[in-house]
Amino acid sequence: MATQDSKPLDESGSIDPASDDRATYDYTGGSHHRQELVDDLESLIDGDVRFDEYSRQLYATDASAYEVTPVGVVFPRSTDDVAAIVDYCFDHEIPVLPRGGGTSLAGQATNEAVVLDLSVYMNDLVEVDPGARVADVQAGAVLADLNAALAPHDLKFAPDPAAGDRSTLGGAIGNNSTGAHSLQYGKTDAYVEEVEVVLADGTVTTFGEVTLDELRNRAASDGNIESRIYDVLRRVVDEESETIHDVYPQLKRNVSGYNLDRLVQEAASETINLARVFAGSEGTLGVVTAATISLESVPETKSVALLTYHDLIDAMADVDTIVQNHDPAAVEAIDDVLLDLARETEEFETVAAMLPAETETALLVEFYAEDEAHGRQQVAELVADRIPDVALDEAEHEEEDRQYDEPVRAFDVLEAYDEEERATLWKLRKSGMPILLSRTTDAKHISFIEDTAVPTENLAEYVADFQAVLDDHDTFASFYAHAGPGCMHMRPLVDTKSPAGVAQMESISDAVTDLVVEYNGSVSGEHGDGRARTQWNRKLYGDDVWSLFRDVKSAFDPDWILNPGQVCGEIDMTEQLRFGGNYDFEAEFDPTLNWENDNGFQGMVELCHGCGGCRGQQETTGGVMCPTYRAAEEESVTTRGRANMLRQAMSGDLDDDVLDIEFMNEVMDLCIGCKGCSRDCPSEVDMAKLKAEVEHANHEQHGAGVRERLFANIDTLNSIGSRLAPVSNWAETIPGVRTVLEETVGIAKERSLPTFHRESFEEWFEARGGPRVSPSHAARKVLLFPDTYTNYNHPEAGKAAVRVLEAADVHVRIPENVTSTGRPAHSKGFLDVSRERAATNIDALAPRVIEGWDVVLVEPSDAVMFQSDYLDLLSGRDVERVAANTYGILEYLDRFDFDLEFETLTESLTYHGHCHQKSTKKDHHAASVLGKAGYEVDVLDSGCCGMAGSFGYESEHYSMSMAIANILFEQVDDSDGEQVVAPGASCRTQLEDRNDGEEPVHPIEKVEDALRT
């Protein structure tokens, strides 16, 4: 029996849980001890050691409802580093927690331990053998990156968790992850062939396939740690197999407890794979540093049927029939809660409108197919099973009357075969998380019992009883996701800031666990045990298996230093909550912007739930968010990192407050205000707006520097530069000028300075005699606002806009009595200045808008200033009216679809859009207009260019600016376009500096070039 002599045993010979003081861990080392620990670890490894307060707080949370400050964070560079760290911590009885992307939903990636972030350096695809369909991969490799590297071989790592664009292979193994297509592929354990592991005492070893004879021969209860591991696993196979078979739920989806049933199943063939024990172990048995994984072929094609229902329970009753009769790759549910929210959400309302009005629930059924004809056949067979609507009332619903040849109860069906059509239907299914996680109230849809799983034949009854539990607790949840394997996602709405809410959370968990046991299910079918569900494993499995879990844990980890408390420890699900009963929020300043969401500024600060979406938008997946993470791959520069630090500072978890200079430098400084998070973050955290608010408060407290004030008033500087041109353009050619600017003002010497035009755009317009189209005969009337860059630095773009608009029979004028849009001041946190300028412009423009004029701008960030940021600065009907009638120039041309005549062209363009327009979902208009003009357009799925207004000019930010820019440059190089176009002045400057002074043009200039004259 593999137990430690120091651990008390109960009468059965297993560890007595009540006397085990290593089920949880309390690190009490002070700052002196912490510094000694840092010094020791730095001397042992090549990786990075960070035990400062900011780094520790960054790793205090994952994607769950929990928060635990770690001892410190280490970024190992090799397995040798990991071994040295674990060996040291074993000797000093310090807990260790391996971590990947921090996407865990049950809290298993949070602990008072030394966190090993394997995602930074240990993330390589070491080798792939396409013929054998296997690959050797380091544990920190992100699944999306892995699959991108495998794509040329038409292979993939099959498990597809929703967080696959940021979760790592090590995390997938630790969690035994799967996803929407588990019906086809199963869980991660099916693909783990061998693992390299650092054991609790620092031993590096490999586990893989062994015969039962090898297992028994290597087992020794009194030997070293490896032999004790073999002994306890021998015991599982030889002595406990019957118990395990009787107790474990017979499900495709069960990741609760240790993966012992897999061993027992394999033992029937006299060969078992010990690597699969680590699947689902949550880092409690060893630190997996690399793995050999098996791969699957990428499907030839797919087909989708979206079945619609009047009732959720009818849909649930159909799942078993669909799975048994039709062999789908996925069956996903969307309930009435999500459908109603989707209908009210701009991003999803068009898709939701495709459904019949009476739809209350839908099942998305996907098939893998050999070709389109095969896909159509599979959908046709499914649809042929459907009960006519008139017969629905006569359908039997009782379990004893159900047969696998029963017809499907859906009253209607939508079919999709090409990639775009399928993506549209999947978009509706994937609307669930963004909608549920956008709530800014104290009560939130929390992940704590969301991924329970039951056999599909019990699903309808289980869901009905689950709903009754929620009704009894006076709350509700949405029921969505993986109906096919019986693993629905349900996130009850709970307020854990109140003691009553915490009690409600535990009571719901207790009641639902009883249901799971009753229906032969599992408390976790996907997201693991962690802090949320460990305490329910004893109820699920019983005392005998619970004790066996603890014996397994002790054999692998004698002193319980590896992620202690998880899986079979004594963790209480109501402790260490991020928003617990003692949570307190103090803003420290009065917010000055309009915060229309629930709980206002505080609600936005607390909105990030930690999913790590900001880590997922990388080169392989595109998107806008988060450019600093894409460049540096550091948690500290993610939206999640900044949001967590901001909340922790305001709740007292961080010693510094948000008005400390150090906080601004450490946390907010590298946010470039791209607004990408407001679009790409599932919760729509608006970090650019939060930064503006905090930066403004810091200006009020500490004042602002000369450079910040110069950039905030760039309109004045540009005006002076224009009046002094061309002399102002010669200044930077004087030797030493750039060095002086860097040393005195902090403008990077590597940057070329803006070019000024003697004749501004406004002066050109006046000199030409004003409008050329009569207002009485015009199609529309436009006030073309002279933003500072178009006016003084890039007047050709403004001239082109005028000519194109007039070719479209638009009456164009330059508005009077206006000032700068306020964008530069706003971006630097001078909100009083931007508000004053906004008020001036609204006063000038609102009366004209009421008269029927439209407001159009050439510079995207200034257009978005009117459309979005003015609503944050001002209130009232006038600002709403102006915002609603303001357009970027390409958006305007596309939206009103003017009758323009173009030449026949053969030129191709590479289009890089502006991140502000992408954030407001208006960027597609430019490519549309260029396409109408006859150009072949390659639209880059690019993020920020890295210049970000003044950011790229600032000397301390130059290297980050270029690191971000290099991502864009690679995309440009990979494009087949003959010429690059970009609407943003900053973007064109960044590209100009790269191209030795050759500046790309604004898209409106190419539209003018294409006009038929």
Q: What is the tens place of the pLDDT at every residue in 934-975?
A: 999 999 999 999 999 999 999 999 999 999 999 999 999 999
780-785 and 125-129 strand pairing: unpaired
Q: Over the stretch 609-635, which tens digit does the pLDDT of each residue have?
A: 899 889 885 544 567 889 999 999 899
Would you place residue 399 in the very low, low, confident or very high pLDDT band (cuts 50, 70, 90)?
A: very low
Neighbours of 181 (CB within 10 A): 23
Amino acid symbol at 851: E
Given this model, what pLDDT does residue 385 score? 79
Given this model, what pLDDT does residue 795 score? 96
User: Do the beta carbons of residue 784 and residue 810 sit within 8 Å?
Assistant: no
The beta-strand segments (E) located in 758-903 are 780-785, 810-813, 853-857, 886-888
Please report where in the chains the tokens 């299910």 appear, as a residue. Answer: 521
Please tell me the number of Cα atoms within 13 Å of 537 on its side-chain side: 32
> Does the structure show a pLDDT above 90 at 400?
no
Distances (CA, A) of 469 to 110, 475, 512: 29, 9, 7
Q: 32: which 2 tokens?
A: 């002196």
Amino acid symbol at 469: V
User: Do the beta carbons of residue 328 and residue 468 sit within 8 Å?
Assistant: no
Rounded Cα distance, 764 and 795, in Å: 9
Q: 383: which 2 tokens?
A: 């649809």
> Does the structure show a pLDDT above 50 at 396?
no
Q: 455: which 2 tokens?
A: 């056999």
Distances (CA, A) of 388 to 393, 520, 837, 980: 10, 33, 63, 55
CA 932, 938, 943, 946 torsion-angle sign: negative
Across the chain, mean pLDDT equals 91
Q: Over the stretch 895-931, which tens digit does the pLDDT of each residue have?
A: 999 999 999 888 999 999 999 999 999 999 999 999 9
Q: 801: which 2 tokens?
A: 């806009």
Rg of the chain taking only CA atoms, in angstroms: 30
* pLDDT higher at 58 or 752: 58
Percent of the chain with pLDDT over 90: 82
The DSSP annotation for 421-465 comes to HHHHHHHHHTTHHHHHTT--SSSEE--SSTT-B--GGGHHHHHHH
Given this model, what pLDDT does residue 405 score? 53
Given this model, what pLDDT does residue 11 score? 33
User: Do the beta carbons of residue 194 and residue 206 sit within 8 Å?
Assistant: yes
Neighbours of 904 (CB within 10 A): 7
Would you place residue 398 in the very low, low, confident or very high pLDDT band (cuts 50, 70, 90)?
A: very low
Given this model, what pLDDT does residue 428 score? 86
Neighbours of 966 (CB within 10 A): 13
Rounded Cα distance, 265 and 54, in Å: 46
HEC assignment per residue over 122-177: CCCEEEEECCCCEEEEECCCEHHHHHHHHHHHCEECCCCCCCCCCCEHHHHHHHCC
Rounded Cα distance, 608 and 681, in Å: 9
Rounded Cα distance, 820 and 925, in Å: 25
Distances (CA, A) of 972 to 861, 912, 926: 22, 8, 17
User: Do the beta carbons of residue 864 and residue 919 sit within 8 Å?
Assistant: yes
Please tell me the number of Cα atoms within 13 Å of 365 on its side-chain side: 31
Rounded Cα distance, 783 and 250, in Å: 68
Given this model, what pLDDT does residue 16 score? 40
Q: 826: which 2 tokens?
A: 């706003």
CA 964, 966, 969, 970 torsion-angle sign: negative
Given this model, what pLDDT does residue 622 score? 65
Would you place residue 42 in the very low, low, confident or very high pLDDT band (cuts 50, 70, 90)?
A: very high
Amino acid symbol at 797: A
Given this model, what pLDDT does residue 342 score? 85
Rounded Cα distance, 540 and 538, in Å: 5
> Does the structure show a pLDDT above 90 at 799?
yes
Rounded Cα distance, 318 and 408, in Å: 6
Q: Over the stretch 303-343, which tens digit does the pLDDT of each residue have?
A: 999 999 999 999 999 999 999 999 999 999 999 998 988 88
The DSSP annotation for 880-910 comes to HHHHHTEEEHHHHHHHHT----B-----EEE
Given this model, what pLDDT does residue 731 score? 81
The DSSP annotation for 588-629 comes to SS---S---STTHHHHHHT------HHHH-STTT--SS-HHH
Rounded Cα distance, 794 and 760, in Å: 9
Rounded Cα distance, 472 and 569, in Å: 30
User: Do the beta carbons of residue 640 and residue 168 sit within 8 Å?
Assistant: no
Rounded Cα distance, 100 and 111, in Å: 14
Rounded Cα distance, 550 and 8, in Å: 12
Please report where in the chains the tokens 């109140």 appear, as a residue. Answer: 498
Q: What angle do CA 478, 479, 483 make, to 5 degrees?
A: 160
Q: Over the stretch 688-704, which tens digit does the pLDDT of each residue have?
A: 999 999 999 999 999 99
Q: What is the mean pLDDT of residues 470-476?
A: 97
> Does the structure show a pLDDT above 50 at 9?
no
List the 979-981 sheet strands across, edge first: 936-939, 908-911, 979-981
What pTM was estimated for this model as a whole? 0.91
Given this model, what pLDDT does residue 995 score? 77
Would you place residue 157 in the very low, low, confident or very high pLDDT band (cuts 50, 70, 90)?
A: very high
Given this model, what pLDDT does residue 358 score? 92
User: Do the beta carbons of residue 41 and residue 49 sit within 8 Å?
Assistant: yes
Neighbours of 113 (CB within 10 A): 26
> Does the structure show a pLDDT above 70 at 30?
no
Q: What angle do CA 821, 860, 769 make, to 5 degrees?
A: 70
Q: Compute the residue count for the chain.
A: 1013
Please report where in the chains the tokens 């090590």 appear, as a residue. Answer: 170
Q: Over the stretch 246-300, which tens digit does the pLDDT of each residue have?
A: 999 999 899 999 999 999 999 999 999 999 999 999 999 999 999 999 999 999 9
User: Do the beta carbons of residue 951 and residue 957 sit within 8 Å?
Assistant: yes
Q: Over the stretch 205-241, which tens digit does the pLDDT of each residue have?
A: 999 999 999 999 999 999 999 999 999 999 999 999 9
Given this model, what pLDDT does residue 656 score? 85
Given this model, what pLDDT does residue 32 score? 55
Rounded Cα distance, 152 and 136, in Å: 16
- Beta partners for residue 334, in sequence order: 362, 480
- Max Cα distance, the chain (Å): 100
The beta-strand segments (E) located in 808-948 are 810-813, 853-857, 886-888, 908-911, 936-939
Percent of the chain with pLDDT over 70: 94
Given this model, what pLDDT does residue 13 score? 32
* pLDDT higher at 395 or 194: 194
Please report where in the chains the tokens 């026949």 appear, as a residue. Answer: 904
Would you place residue 836 in the very low, low, confident or very high pLDDT band (cuts 50, 70, 90)?
A: very high
Cβ neighbours for 103, distance < 8 A, ≥ 6 positions apart: 62, 63, 109, 161, 163, 166, 167, 171, 611, 612
Rounded Cα distance, 6 and 658, in Å: 48
Given this model, what pLDDT does residue 10 score? 38
886-888 and 908-911 strand pairing: unpaired
Residue 415: which H helix or E strand, with range?
strand 412-416
Would you place residue 63 in the very low, low, confident or very high pLDDT band (cuts 50, 70, 90)?
A: very high
Please report where in the chains the tokens 């999913």 appear, as a residue. Answer: 611
Q: Any idea what DSSP says for residue 717?
A: H
Q: 64: which 2 tokens?
A: 């769950």
Given this model, what pLDDT does residue 617 score? 54
User: Do the beta carbons of residue 179 and residue 331 sit within 8 Å?
Assistant: no
